[in-house]
Chain A
Amino acid sequence: MSTLPGPAAHPGAAFAAAAHVRVRLPAQLRVLAGAPAEVTVPVEGLVTQRAVLDALERSHPVLRGTVRDRATAVRRAFIRFFVEETDLSDAAPDDPLPPAVAEGAEPFVIVGAMAGG
Protein backbone atom coordinates (compact mmCIF):
# COMPACT_ATOMS: atom_id res chain seq x y z
CA MET A 1 0.00 0.00 0.00
CA SER A 2 1.54 3.28 -1.04
CA THR A 3 1.34 6.34 1.11
CA LEU A 4 0.09 9.76 0.19
CA PRO A 5 3.00 12.14 -0.25
CA GLY A 6 2.34 15.39 1.56
CA PRO A 7 3.33 18.87 0.50
CA ALA A 8 6.24 18.84 2.93
CA ALA A 9 7.77 15.82 1.23
CA HIS A 10 7.46 17.19 -2.32
CA PRO A 11 6.82 20.90 -2.09
CA GLY A 12 5.32 22.15 -5.33
CA ALA A 13 6.09 18.97 -7.24
CA ALA A 14 3.72 17.10 -9.54
CA PHE A 15 5.98 14.04 -9.50
CA ALA A 16 5.43 11.49 -6.80
CA ALA A 17 6.33 7.84 -6.41
CA ALA A 18 2.73 7.01 -5.62
CA ALA A 19 0.13 9.71 -5.27
CA HIS A 20 -3.43 9.21 -4.21
CA VAL A 21 -5.33 11.40 -6.61
CA ARG A 22 -8.89 12.51 -6.02
CA VAL A 23 -11.11 12.28 -9.09
CA ARG A 24 -14.57 13.80 -9.18
CA LEU A 25 -17.03 12.01 -11.44
CA PRO A 26 -20.11 13.33 -13.24
CA ALA A 27 -23.41 11.89 -12.05
CA GLN A 28 -23.92 9.39 -14.85
CA LEU A 29 -20.49 7.86 -14.38
CA ARG A 30 -21.01 7.60 -10.63
CA VAL A 31 -24.10 5.51 -11.29
CA LEU A 32 -22.36 3.44 -13.93
CA ALA A 33 -19.36 2.74 -11.69
CA GLY A 34 -21.38 2.38 -8.52
CA ALA A 35 -19.04 4.96 -7.06
CA PRO A 36 -19.40 8.07 -4.92
CA ALA A 37 -19.03 11.55 -6.35
CA GLU A 38 -15.33 11.47 -5.66
CA VAL A 39 -12.99 8.51 -5.81
CA THR A 40 -9.32 8.26 -4.93
CA VAL A 41 -6.98 6.40 -7.25
CA PRO A 42 -3.29 5.55 -6.80
CA VAL A 43 -1.05 7.05 -9.47
CA GLU A 44 2.50 5.84 -9.85
CA GLY A 45 5.11 8.26 -11.15
CA LEU A 46 4.38 11.57 -12.81
CA VAL A 47 0.82 12.73 -12.18
CA THR A 48 -0.50 13.53 -15.63
CA GLN A 49 -3.94 13.48 -17.20
CA ARG A 50 -3.12 10.16 -18.88
CA ALA A 51 -1.78 8.61 -15.68
CA VAL A 52 -4.81 9.68 -13.67
CA LEU A 53 -7.25 8.35 -16.27
CA ASP A 54 -5.28 5.11 -16.60
CA ALA A 55 -5.50 4.69 -12.84
CA LEU A 56 -9.20 5.52 -12.83
CA GLU A 57 -9.88 2.90 -15.52
CA ARG A 58 -7.82 0.32 -13.65
CA SER A 59 -9.79 0.85 -10.48
CA HIS A 60 -13.15 1.13 -12.29
CA PRO A 61 -12.91 -0.88 -15.53
CA VAL A 62 -16.52 -0.10 -16.45
CA LEU A 63 -15.40 3.48 -17.14
CA ARG A 64 -13.13 2.40 -20.00
CA GLY A 65 -14.33 4.14 -23.12
CA THR A 66 -16.63 6.53 -21.30
CA VAL A 67 -14.12 9.35 -20.77
CA ARG A 68 -11.65 8.57 -23.56
CA ASP A 69 -12.17 6.83 -26.86
CA ARG A 70 -11.40 3.12 -26.55
CA ALA A 71 -9.33 2.99 -29.70
CA THR A 72 -7.47 6.32 -29.63
CA ALA A 73 -7.47 7.28 -25.94
CA VAL A 74 -8.51 10.76 -27.05
CA ARG A 75 -10.84 12.66 -24.69
CA ARG A 76 -14.46 12.25 -25.74
CA ALA A 77 -15.81 15.40 -27.32
CA PHE A 78 -18.35 16.28 -24.61
CA ILE A 79 -16.02 15.61 -21.68
CA ARG A 80 -14.00 18.35 -19.99
CA PHE A 81 -11.29 18.22 -17.33
CA PHE A 82 -10.90 20.88 -14.65
CA VAL A 83 -8.46 21.48 -11.82
CA GLU A 84 -8.91 24.40 -9.46
CA GLU A 85 -11.50 25.91 -11.82
CA THR A 86 -9.03 25.83 -14.72
CA ASP A 87 -10.06 23.99 -17.87
CA LEU A 88 -7.26 21.56 -18.70
CA SER A 89 -9.23 19.62 -21.30
CA ASP A 90 -6.93 20.55 -24.13
CA ALA A 91 -3.68 20.22 -22.22
CA ALA A 92 -1.30 17.56 -23.48
CA PRO A 93 -2.21 14.27 -21.78
CA ASP A 94 1.37 13.69 -20.64
CA ASP A 95 1.93 17.14 -19.14
CA PRO A 96 2.18 17.22 -15.34
CA LEU A 97 -1.05 18.24 -13.65
CA PRO A 98 -0.92 21.05 -11.07
CA PRO A 99 0.83 20.00 -7.84
CA ALA A 100 -2.38 20.30 -5.87
CA VAL A 101 -3.71 17.24 -7.68
CA ALA A 102 -0.73 15.08 -6.79
CA GLU A 103 -0.84 16.36 -3.25
CA GLY A 104 -4.49 15.46 -2.88
CA ALA A 105 -5.40 19.04 -2.11
CA GLU A 106 -7.60 19.42 -5.21
CA PRO A 107 -9.56 16.87 -7.23
CA PHE A 108 -9.18 16.19 -10.90
CA VAL A 109 -12.69 17.03 -12.05
CA ILE A 110 -14.36 15.22 -14.98
CA VAL A 111 -17.32 17.13 -16.32
CA GLY A 112 -19.91 16.21 -18.90
CA ALA A 113 -20.56 19.23 -21.09
CA MET A 114 -23.82 21.07 -20.55
CA ALA A 115 -26.10 20.04 -23.36
CA GLY A 116 -29.73 19.28 -23.95
CA GLY A 117 -31.44 15.98 -24.53
Chain B
Amino acid sequence: MSSVRLLVGTRKGGFVLTSDGQRRSWQVDGPFFAGWEIYHMDASPVLPDRIYASQSNGWFGQVMQRSDDGGKTWSAVGNDFSYRGAVGMHPWYDGSSKPWQFTRIWHVEPDRGDPDVVYAGAQDAALFRSADGGESWEELTALRQHATASGWQPGAGGLCLHTILLEPSAPGRIVVAISAAGVFRSDDGGQSWHPANKGLMSGGVLPDPDAEVGHCVHKIALHSSKPDVLFMQKHWDVMRSDDGGGWWREISGNLPSDFGFAITVNSHEPETVYVVPIKSDSEHYPPEGKLRVYRSRTGGDEWEPLTDGLPQQHCYVDVLRDSMAVDTLEPCGVYFGTTGGQVYVSADAGDTWAAAVRDLPAVLSVEAQTLP
Protein backbone atom coordinates (compact mmCIF):
# COMPACT_ATOMS: atom_id res chain seq x y z
CA MET B 1 0.00 0.00 0.00
CA SER B 2 1.28 3.42 -0.84
CA SER B 3 2.32 5.84 1.85
CA VAL B 4 3.11 9.52 2.10
CA ARG B 5 6.09 11.22 3.68
CA LEU B 6 5.99 14.94 4.39
CA LEU B 7 9.22 16.86 4.75
CA VAL B 8 8.53 19.86 6.93
CA GLY B 9 11.07 22.64 7.45
CA THR B 10 10.49 25.01 10.36
CA ARG B 11 12.13 27.92 12.14
CA LYS B 12 13.57 25.57 14.75
CA GLY B 13 14.24 22.29 13.03
CA GLY B 14 13.06 19.76 10.47
CA PHE B 15 10.28 17.21 10.87
CA VAL B 16 9.30 14.11 8.92
CA LEU B 17 5.63 13.12 8.94
CA THR B 18 4.53 9.75 7.62
CA SER B 19 1.17 8.17 6.96
CA ASP B 20 -0.31 5.32 5.03
CA GLY B 21 -2.31 6.01 1.90
CA GLN B 22 -5.40 6.91 3.89
CA ARG B 23 -3.57 10.00 5.10
CA ARG B 24 -5.60 10.19 8.30
CA SER B 25 -3.07 9.28 10.98
CA TRP B 26 0.40 10.77 11.00
CA GLN B 27 3.60 9.83 12.75
CA VAL B 28 5.73 12.86 13.55
CA ASP B 29 9.51 12.43 13.76
CA GLY B 30 11.82 15.26 14.76
CA PRO B 31 12.93 17.86 15.36
CA PHE B 32 16.02 17.18 13.32
CA PHE B 33 18.71 19.89 13.56
CA ALA B 34 16.90 21.38 16.56
CA GLY B 35 17.28 25.10 16.96
CA TRP B 36 18.28 25.69 13.34
CA GLU B 37 16.14 27.12 10.58
CA ILE B 38 15.31 24.48 8.00
CA TYR B 39 14.28 26.54 5.01
CA HIS B 40 13.64 23.55 2.78
CA MET B 41 13.86 19.78 2.57
CA ASP B 42 13.31 17.75 -0.58
CA ALA B 43 13.99 14.27 -1.87
CA SER B 44 15.24 12.74 -5.08
CA PRO B 45 12.35 11.51 -7.23
CA VAL B 46 14.44 8.56 -8.39
CA LEU B 47 16.01 7.72 -5.02
CA PRO B 48 13.25 8.65 -2.57
CA ASP B 49 15.21 7.89 0.58
CA ARG B 50 17.80 10.50 -0.42
CA ILE B 51 16.66 13.72 1.21
CA TYR B 52 18.41 17.07 1.36
CA ALA B 53 17.85 19.62 4.11
CA SER B 54 19.01 23.21 4.03
CA GLN B 55 20.04 24.07 7.58
CA SER B 56 20.99 27.61 8.55
CA ASN B 57 20.80 30.31 11.13
CA GLY B 58 22.04 33.83 11.61
CA TRP B 59 24.84 32.86 13.96
CA PHE B 60 26.46 29.90 12.28
CA GLY B 61 25.55 30.25 8.63
CA GLN B 62 24.71 27.49 6.18
CA VAL B 63 24.95 23.74 6.53
CA MET B 64 23.60 21.25 4.01
CA GLN B 65 22.43 17.89 5.30
CA ARG B 66 21.70 14.70 3.40
CA SER B 67 19.92 11.56 4.45
CA ASP B 68 20.14 8.32 2.47
CA ASP B 69 17.70 6.38 4.61
CA GLY B 70 14.53 8.41 4.36
CA GLY B 71 15.36 10.85 7.12
CA LYS B 72 16.35 8.44 9.88
CA THR B 73 20.00 9.52 9.89
CA TRP B 74 21.71 12.57 8.42
CA SER B 75 25.18 13.65 7.40
CA ALA B 76 26.44 17.12 6.67
CA VAL B 77 27.61 17.46 3.08
CA GLY B 78 29.20 20.43 1.33
CA ASN B 79 28.45 23.99 2.37
CA ASP B 80 30.90 25.90 0.20
CA PHE B 81 28.55 28.14 -1.74
CA SER B 82 31.19 30.57 -2.90
CA TYR B 83 30.26 32.82 -5.78
CA ARG B 84 32.45 32.33 -8.81
CA GLY B 85 34.17 35.22 -10.54
CA ALA B 86 33.38 38.89 -9.99
CA VAL B 87 30.86 39.23 -7.17
CA GLY B 88 29.12 42.34 -8.43
CA MET B 89 26.84 44.83 -6.72
CA HIS B 90 23.08 45.12 -6.37
CA PRO B 91 20.81 47.82 -4.98
CA TRP B 92 20.03 47.77 -1.27
CA TYR B 93 16.71 48.84 0.29
CA ASP B 94 17.91 52.39 0.84
CA GLY B 95 19.09 52.82 -2.72
CA SER B 96 22.75 52.27 -1.99
CA SER B 97 24.73 49.50 -3.65
CA LYS B 98 25.80 46.37 -1.83
CA PRO B 99 28.06 43.52 -2.93
CA TRP B 100 26.52 40.09 -3.39
CA GLN B 101 26.84 38.22 -0.10
CA PHE B 102 25.85 34.62 0.52
CA THR B 103 23.38 34.20 3.38
CA ARG B 104 21.55 30.90 2.99
CA ILE B 105 20.04 28.32 0.70
CA TRP B 106 16.29 28.87 0.39
CA HIS B 107 15.42 25.93 -1.80
CA VAL B 108 16.90 22.61 -2.91
CA GLU B 109 15.68 20.95 -6.10
CA PRO B 110 16.85 17.38 -6.76
CA ASP B 111 17.21 16.46 -10.41
CA ARG B 112 14.39 14.42 -11.92
CA GLY B 113 16.68 11.75 -13.34
CA ASP B 114 20.08 11.70 -11.66
CA PRO B 115 20.05 11.18 -7.88
CA ASP B 116 23.50 12.75 -7.55
CA VAL B 117 22.45 16.01 -9.20
CA VAL B 118 20.78 18.65 -7.09
CA TYR B 119 20.25 22.39 -7.50
CA ALA B 120 20.18 24.99 -4.75
CA GLY B 121 18.78 28.52 -4.77
CA ALA B 122 20.66 31.07 -2.69
CA GLN B 123 20.31 34.41 -0.99
CA ASP B 124 21.85 36.65 -2.33
CA ALA B 125 20.38 35.34 -5.54
CA ALA B 126 22.39 32.64 -7.26
CA LEU B 127 21.87 29.13 -8.55
CA PHE B 128 24.21 26.33 -7.49
CA ARG B 129 24.47 22.79 -8.83
CA SER B 130 25.98 19.68 -7.32
CA ALA B 131 26.73 16.53 -9.29
CA ASP B 132 27.95 14.50 -6.30
CA GLY B 133 25.00 14.40 -3.96
CA GLY B 134 25.70 17.76 -2.40
CA GLU B 135 29.32 17.13 -1.45
CA SER B 136 30.48 20.00 -3.65
CA TRP B 137 28.66 22.85 -5.33
CA GLU B 138 29.31 24.92 -8.40
CA GLU B 139 27.59 28.16 -9.21
CA LEU B 140 25.88 28.50 -12.58
CA THR B 141 27.27 31.99 -12.91
CA ALA B 142 25.43 33.18 -15.99
CA LEU B 143 22.34 33.93 -13.93
CA ARG B 144 24.00 36.18 -11.34
CA GLN B 145 26.04 37.78 -14.09
CA HIS B 146 22.99 38.53 -16.22
CA ALA B 147 23.01 42.06 -17.64
CA THR B 148 20.05 43.05 -15.45
CA ALA B 149 21.53 41.73 -12.17
CA SER B 150 23.02 45.03 -11.11
CA GLY B 151 19.44 46.26 -10.79
CA TRP B 152 18.01 43.39 -8.73
CA GLN B 153 16.62 44.67 -5.44
CA PRO B 154 15.90 42.43 -2.46
CA GLY B 155 12.37 41.70 -1.36
CA ALA B 156 11.48 41.93 2.32
CA GLY B 157 13.00 38.49 2.89
CA GLY B 158 16.21 39.30 1.07
CA LEU B 159 17.43 38.88 -2.51
CA CYS B 160 16.55 35.21 -2.62
CA LEU B 161 16.28 32.59 -5.34
CA HIS B 162 13.40 30.52 -4.00
CA THR B 163 11.91 28.64 -6.95
CA ILE B 164 13.63 26.16 -9.27
CA LEU B 165 11.51 24.32 -11.85
CA LEU B 166 13.06 21.44 -13.77
CA GLU B 167 11.08 19.67 -16.43
CA PRO B 168 12.27 16.36 -17.94
CA SER B 169 10.01 16.80 -20.96
CA ALA B 170 11.87 19.98 -21.80
CA PRO B 171 15.55 18.99 -21.43
CA GLY B 172 17.82 21.86 -20.50
CA ARG B 173 15.00 24.10 -19.37
CA ILE B 174 15.33 25.63 -15.92
CA VAL B 175 12.91 28.26 -14.67
CA VAL B 176 13.85 30.15 -11.52
CA ALA B 177 12.21 32.94 -9.56
CA ILE B 178 13.95 35.59 -7.50
CA SER B 179 12.45 38.07 -5.06
CA ALA B 180 12.33 40.79 -6.11
CA ALA B 181 13.89 40.40 -9.56
CA GLY B 182 11.36 38.08 -11.18
CA VAL B 183 11.38 35.00 -13.38
CA PHE B 184 14.38 33.87 -15.42
CA ARG B 185 14.46 30.99 -17.86
CA SER B 186 17.31 28.98 -19.30
CA ASP B 187 16.95 26.53 -22.17
CA ASP B 188 20.54 25.31 -22.08
CA GLY B 189 20.93 23.91 -18.59
CA GLY B 190 21.77 27.25 -17.00
CA GLN B 191 24.47 28.43 -19.39
CA SER B 192 22.38 31.45 -20.45
CA TRP B 193 19.27 33.10 -19.11
CA HIS B 194 16.60 35.53 -20.15
CA PRO B 195 13.99 37.35 -18.05
CA ALA B 196 10.48 35.92 -18.40
CA ASN B 197 8.38 38.66 -16.84
CA LYS B 198 6.35 40.15 -19.68
CA GLY B 199 2.82 40.85 -18.58
CA LEU B 200 3.68 41.19 -14.89
CA MET B 201 2.55 44.49 -13.41
CA SER B 202 3.98 45.77 -10.15
CA GLY B 203 2.57 49.28 -10.14
CA GLY B 204 3.01 49.87 -6.42
CA VAL B 205 6.77 49.60 -6.61
CA LEU B 206 7.64 49.74 -10.32
CA PRO B 207 6.25 52.78 -12.12
CA ASP B 208 7.41 51.35 -15.46
CA PRO B 209 4.64 48.98 -16.62
CA ASP B 210 7.06 47.26 -18.99
CA ALA B 211 9.82 46.74 -16.42
CA GLU B 212 11.89 43.76 -17.51
CA VAL B 213 12.91 42.89 -13.94
CA GLY B 214 12.03 44.02 -10.43
CA HIS B 215 8.93 41.91 -9.86
CA CYS B 216 8.44 40.23 -6.50
CA VAL B 217 7.46 36.77 -7.66
CA HIS B 218 6.58 34.64 -4.64
CA LYS B 219 6.21 31.18 -6.16
CA ILE B 220 5.65 29.38 -9.47
CA ALA B 221 4.11 25.95 -9.99
CA LEU B 222 3.49 23.71 -12.97
CA HIS B 223 2.01 20.35 -13.89
CA SER B 224 4.47 18.02 -15.56
CA SER B 225 2.00 17.14 -18.34
CA LYS B 226 1.92 20.80 -19.40
CA PRO B 227 5.38 22.22 -18.82
CA ASP B 228 4.58 25.38 -20.75
CA VAL B 229 1.73 26.30 -18.41
CA LEU B 230 3.07 28.13 -15.38
CA PHE B 231 1.04 29.40 -12.45
CA MET B 232 2.41 32.20 -10.30
CA GLN B 233 1.59 33.75 -6.96
CA LYS B 234 3.14 37.19 -7.16
CA HIS B 235 3.44 39.69 -4.33
CA TRP B 236 0.08 40.90 -5.54
CA ASP B 237 -1.71 39.06 -8.39
CA VAL B 238 -2.10 35.42 -9.30
CA MET B 239 -0.81 34.94 -12.84
CA ARG B 240 -0.65 32.34 -15.58
CA SER B 241 1.58 31.80 -18.58
CA ASP B 242 0.77 29.41 -21.41
CA ASP B 243 4.09 29.70 -23.17
CA GLY B 244 6.68 28.91 -20.53
CA GLY B 245 6.90 32.45 -19.21
CA GLY B 246 6.84 34.29 -22.51
CA TRP B 247 3.72 36.18 -21.48
CA TRP B 248 1.76 36.31 -18.23
CA ARG B 249 -1.89 37.16 -17.69
CA GLU B 250 -3.72 37.72 -14.45
CA ILE B 251 -6.07 34.99 -13.21
CA SER B 252 -6.89 36.39 -9.76
CA GLY B 253 -10.60 36.49 -10.65
CA ASN B 254 -12.85 36.35 -7.59
CA LEU B 255 -10.16 35.74 -4.94
CA PRO B 256 -10.78 37.74 -1.74
CA SER B 257 -7.16 38.90 -1.95
CA ASP B 258 -4.66 38.28 -4.69
CA PHE B 259 -1.75 38.66 -2.29
CA GLY B 260 -0.19 35.45 -1.04
CA PHE B 261 2.86 33.25 -1.13
CA ALA B 262 2.08 29.61 -1.90
CA ILE B 263 0.66 28.07 -5.06
CA THR B 264 0.46 24.49 -6.27
CA VAL B 265 -1.20 22.35 -8.93
CA ASN B 266 -3.25 19.18 -8.49
CA SER B 267 -1.15 16.17 -9.49
CA HIS B 268 -3.92 14.68 -11.68
CA GLU B 269 -5.69 17.76 -13.01
CA PRO B 270 -3.33 20.25 -14.69
CA GLU B 271 -5.97 22.99 -14.63
CA THR B 272 -6.73 22.63 -10.92
CA VAL B 273 -4.73 25.17 -8.93
CA TYR B 274 -4.56 25.99 -5.21
CA VAL B 275 -3.63 29.24 -3.45
CA VAL B 276 -4.02 30.59 0.08
CA PRO B 277 -5.01 34.26 -0.08
CA ILE B 278 -3.31 36.52 2.45
CA LYS B 279 -4.78 39.92 3.29
CA SER B 280 -1.95 42.20 2.24
CA ASP B 281 1.78 42.77 2.20
CA SER B 282 1.61 44.43 5.59
CA GLU B 283 -1.01 42.12 7.11
CA HIS B 284 0.37 38.65 6.60
CA TYR B 285 -2.70 36.67 7.63
CA PRO B 286 -5.87 35.43 5.96
CA PRO B 287 -8.64 37.93 5.13
CA GLU B 288 -11.31 38.12 7.85
CA GLY B 289 -9.31 35.77 10.09
CA LYS B 290 -10.59 32.81 8.03
CA LEU B 291 -8.05 30.31 6.79
CA ARG B 292 -9.23 29.40 3.32
CA VAL B 293 -7.56 27.53 0.53
CA TYR B 294 -8.93 28.61 -2.83
CA ARG B 295 -9.16 26.11 -5.66
CA SER B 296 -9.68 26.82 -9.32
CA ARG B 297 -10.67 23.93 -11.56
CA THR B 298 -10.52 26.15 -14.61
CA GLY B 299 -6.87 27.12 -14.58
CA GLY B 300 -7.63 30.37 -12.81
CA ASP B 301 -10.14 33.24 -12.87
CA GLU B 302 -12.87 31.24 -11.09
CA TRP B 303 -12.02 30.22 -7.54
CA GLU B 304 -13.91 28.39 -4.80
CA PRO B 305 -13.12 28.61 -1.08
CA LEU B 306 -12.20 25.38 0.69
CA THR B 307 -12.96 25.71 4.38
CA ASP B 308 -14.10 22.34 5.75
CA GLY B 309 -11.77 21.56 8.64
CA LEU B 310 -9.91 24.87 8.54
CA PRO B 311 -10.35 27.56 11.22
CA GLN B 312 -12.93 30.11 10.16
CA GLN B 313 -12.47 32.64 12.91
CA HIS B 314 -9.60 34.29 14.76
CA CYS B 315 -6.97 32.78 12.48
CA TYR B 316 -3.99 35.04 11.84
CA VAL B 317 -1.28 32.72 10.57
CA ASP B 318 0.64 32.98 7.32
CA VAL B 319 1.36 30.30 4.72
CA LEU B 320 4.81 30.83 3.27
CA ARG B 321 5.92 30.29 -0.31
CA ASP B 322 7.39 26.79 -0.03
CA SER B 323 4.77 25.55 2.41
CA MET B 324 2.27 23.93 0.05
CA ALA B 325 2.58 20.60 -1.73
CA VAL B 326 0.64 17.76 -3.34
CA ASP B 327 1.10 14.01 -3.42
CA THR B 328 0.38 11.75 -6.39
CA LEU B 329 -2.21 9.49 -4.82
CA GLU B 330 -5.80 9.34 -6.04
CA PRO B 331 -7.52 11.50 -5.00
CA CYS B 332 -4.76 14.05 -4.83
CA GLY B 333 -3.51 14.90 -1.36
CA VAL B 334 -2.90 18.59 -0.70
CA TYR B 335 -0.77 19.83 2.20
CA PHE B 336 0.22 23.16 3.67
CA GLY B 337 1.99 24.43 6.76
CA THR B 338 1.44 27.65 8.65
CA THR B 339 3.52 30.06 10.66
CA GLY B 340 1.40 28.92 13.61
CA GLY B 341 2.94 25.46 13.38
CA GLN B 342 0.01 23.54 11.92
CA VAL B 343 0.39 21.19 8.99
CA TYR B 344 -2.98 20.72 7.30
CA VAL B 345 -3.80 17.72 5.15
CA SER B 346 -6.53 17.15 2.62
CA ALA B 347 -6.81 13.59 1.30
CA ASP B 348 -9.60 14.54 -1.10
CA ALA B 349 -8.11 17.23 -3.33
CA GLY B 350 -9.00 20.02 -0.95
CA ASP B 351 -12.63 19.25 -0.11
CA THR B 352 -11.93 18.54 3.56
CA TRP B 353 -8.98 19.27 5.81
CA ALA B 354 -7.48 18.07 9.09
CA ALA B 355 -4.33 18.98 10.98
CA ALA B 356 -1.66 16.30 10.86
CA VAL B 357 0.14 18.17 13.64
CA ARG B 358 -0.74 21.45 15.30
CA ASP B 359 2.07 22.93 17.33
CA LEU B 360 5.34 22.84 15.44
CA PRO B 361 7.57 25.88 15.19
CA ALA B 362 6.63 28.23 12.34
CA VAL B 363 6.55 26.19 9.16
CA LEU B 364 8.84 27.35 6.36
CA SER B 365 8.35 24.56 3.86
CA VAL B 366 6.42 21.38 3.11
CA GLU B 367 7.21 18.76 0.48
CA ALA B 368 5.19 15.61 -0.09
CA GLN B 369 6.64 12.28 -1.18
CA THR B 370 4.42 9.47 -2.41
CA LEU B 371 6.10 6.18 -1.59
CA PRO B 372 5.26 2.74 -2.99
Interface positions of A (Cβ within 8 A of B): 26-29, 31-32, 62, 64-67, 69-71, 76, 78-79, 112-113, 115, 117
Closest A residue to B77 using CB positions: A62
- Closest CB-CB distance, B363 to chain A, in whole Å? 16
Contact of B82 among A71, A79, A113, A117 (CB under 8 A): A71
Instruction: Tell whether, in the assembled complex, residue B80 and residue A70 are in contact, meaning their CB atoms are under 8 Å apart.
Output: yes
Closest B residue to A68 using CB positions: B61
Instruction: Tell whether, in the assembled complex, residue B36 and residue A28 are in contact, meaning their CB atoms are under 8 Å apart.
Output: yes
**Residues from 33 to 61 in B contacting A, C-beta threshold 8 Å:** 34-36, 57-61
Instruction: Tell whether, in the assembled complex, residue A32 and residue B63 are in contact, meaning their CB atoms are under 8 Å apart.
Output: yes
Q: How many residues of B contact A (CB 8 A)?
A: 18
Considering the chains assembled together, what is the distance between the CA atoms of A113 and B58 in angstroms?
10
Considering the chains assembled together, what is the distance between the CA atoms of A117 and B35 in angstroms?
9
CB neighbours of A28 from chain B (8 A):
35-36, 57, 59-60
Q: Contacts A66-B63, A70-B82 given: A32-B57 contact, CB under 8 Å? A: no
CB neighbours of A67 from chain B (8 A):
60
Instruction: Tell whether, in the assembled complex, residue B59 and residue A78 are in contact, meaning their CB atoms are under 8 Å apart.
Output: yes
CB neighbours of B34 from chain A (8 A):
31
Extra pairs beyond A32-B63, A66-B60 (20, CB < 8 Å):
A28-B59, A28-B60, A29-B60, A32-B60, A62-B76, A65-B62, A65-B80, A66-B63, A69-B61, A70-B79, A70-B81, A70-B102, A71-B82, A71-B102, A76-B61, A78-B59, A79-B59, A112-B59, A115-B58, A117-B11
CB neighbours of A115 from chain B (8 A):
58-59
**Residues from 73 to 96 in B contacting A, C-beta threshold 8 Å:** 76, 79-83
- Closest CB-CB distance, A113 to chain B, in whole Å? 7
Contact of B58 among A31, A62, A65, A117 (CB under 8 A): A117
Considering the chains assembled together, what is the distance between the CA atoms of A115 and B34 in angstroms?
17
CB neighbours of B35 from chain A (8 A):
27-28, 31
Q: Contacts A29-B60, A31-B34 given: A64-B79 contact, CB under 8 Å? A: yes
- Closest CB-CB distance, A117 to chain B, in whole Å? 7
CB neighbours of A69 from chain B (8 A):
61
Q: Mark B231-267, 1 if CB is under 8 A from A, else 0.
A: 0000000000000000000000000000000000000
- Closest CB-CB distance, A10 to chain B, in whole Å? 33
Closest B residue to A32 using CB positions: B63
CB neighbours of A71 from chain B (8 A):
82-83, 102
Considering the chains assembled together, what is the distance between the CA atoms of A101 and B83 in angstroms?
35
- Closest CB-CB distance, B311 to chain A, in whole Å? 26
Between-chain CB contacts (< 8 Å), 11 pairs: A26-B59, A32-B76, A62-B76, A66-B63, A70-B61, A70-B79, A71-B102, A76-B61, A78-B58, A117-B11, A117-B57
Considering the chains assembled together, what is the distance between the CA atoms of A36 and B80 in angstroms?
25
- Closest CB-CB distance, B9 to chain A, in whole Å? 16
CB neighbours of B83 from chain A (8 A):
71
CB neighbours of B57 from chain A (8 A):
28, 117
Closest B residue to A70 using CB positions: B80
CB neighbours of A31 from chain B (8 A):
34-35
CB neighbours of B79 from chain A (8 A):
64-65, 70
Instruction: Tell whether, in the assembled complex, residue B59 and residue A76 are in contact, meaning their CB atoms are under 8 Å apart.
Output: yes
- Closest CB-CB distance, A72 to chain B, in whole Å? 9
- Closest CB-CB distance, A27 to chain B, in whole Å? 8
CB neighbours of A79 from chain B (8 A):
59-60
Considering the chains assembled together, what is the distance between the CA atoms of A37 and B257 in angstroms?
50
CB neighbours of A70 from chain B (8 A):
61, 79-82, 102
Considering the chains assembled together, what is the distance between the CA atoms of A32 and B59 in angstroms?
13
